[in-house]
């Protein structure tokens, strides 16, 4: 007679039936419990995966755009945290939350440049929020920082740009990663 190890108590027993995994009815009850728990856990994980996929599918382009923009803007604030305000030259204090990420060409009028690193720079809140971006001074500061050719390229860029859901997810992930590298 073949022997095998009981799946529950690990004792060697003599196998009576081909599909016998346990030594006794007592271990049999325990074995069923373990199997049921495993099954329940598997179902739970499967449900969780389904929920996540559903949630992902329901995410809208505006939501994903907001998330990508938040990550991108945070990256700009971190990148420029030691640089003065792009328009009024007010010094920054080396933290990422005193200045804004100010768009040279605004998201409202040039949405295709919303994720362009040349188009967005650390800017004091006064210039960004109360002086409507302080555009004339921004241009002078921008020429200083990236050069006239790059500024003119920005100004001449009228190519519409749309991002798919996955592109927006990738942008958000990319800029979160870039932020981690700077922190």
Contact flag: residue 8 with Zn ion (CB under 5 A): yes
Size of interface with Zn ion, in residues (CB under 5 A): 11
The runs of H, that is alpha helices, within 4-60 are: 25-58
Residue 85 binds to Zn ion (criterion: CB under 5 A): yes
**Is 101 near Zn ion (CB under 5 A)?**
no
- Which residues ranging from 121 to 140 are in contact with Zn ion (CB under 5 A)? 124, 127
Segment contacting Zn ion (CB under 5 A): 9-17, 94-102, 140-148, 150-158? 9-17
Residues 21, 28, 88, 150: which binds Zn ion (CB under 5 A)? Answer: 88
Full DSSP string of 113-167: GTT-GGGEEEEEHIIIIISTT-HHHHHHHHHHHH-HHHHHHHHH--------HHH
Q: What is the CA radius of gyration of the chain?
A: 30
> CB 48 → Zn ion: shortest distance, Å?
33
Choosing from 27, 71, 76, 151, the residue that interacts with Zn ion (CB under 5 A) is 27
Reduced to 3 states (helix: H, G, I; strand: E, B; else coil), residue 33 is helix
Measure the CA–CA gap between 183 and 172, rounded to whole angstroms: 16
Sign of the dihedral defined by the CA atoms of residues 175, 179, 181, 182, in that order: positive
Residue number, 30 or 117, with CB nearest to Zn ion: 30
Q: Does 68 bind Zn ion (CB under 5 A)?
A: no
142 binds Zn ion (CB under 5 A): no
Residues that bind Zn ion (CB under 5 A): 6, 8-9, 23, 27, 85, 87-88, 90, 124, 127
């Amino acid at each position: 007679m073949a022997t095998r190890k009981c799946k529950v108590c690990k004792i060697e027993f003599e196998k009576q039936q081909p599909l016998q995994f346990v030594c006794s009815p007592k271990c049999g009850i325990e074995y069923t419990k373990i199997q049921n728990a495993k099954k329940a856990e598997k179902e739970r994980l499967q449900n969780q995966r389904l929920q996540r996929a559903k949630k992902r599918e329901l995410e809208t382009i505006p939501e994903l755009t907001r998330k990508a923009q938040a990550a991108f803007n945070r990256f700009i604030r971190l990148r420029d945290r030691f640089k003065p305000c792009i328009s009024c030259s007010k010094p920054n204090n080396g933290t990422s939350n005193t200045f804004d990420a100010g768009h040279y060409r605004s998201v409202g009028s040039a949405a295709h440049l919303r994720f362009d690193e040349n188009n967005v720079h650390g800017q004091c809140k006064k210039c960004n929020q109360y002086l409507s971006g302080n555009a004339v001074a921004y241009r002078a500061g921008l020429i200083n920082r990236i050069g006239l050719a790059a500024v003119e390229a920005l100004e001449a860029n009228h190519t519409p740009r749309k991002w798919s859901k996955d592109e927006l997810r990738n942008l958000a992930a990319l800029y979160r990663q870039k932020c981690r590298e700077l922190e």
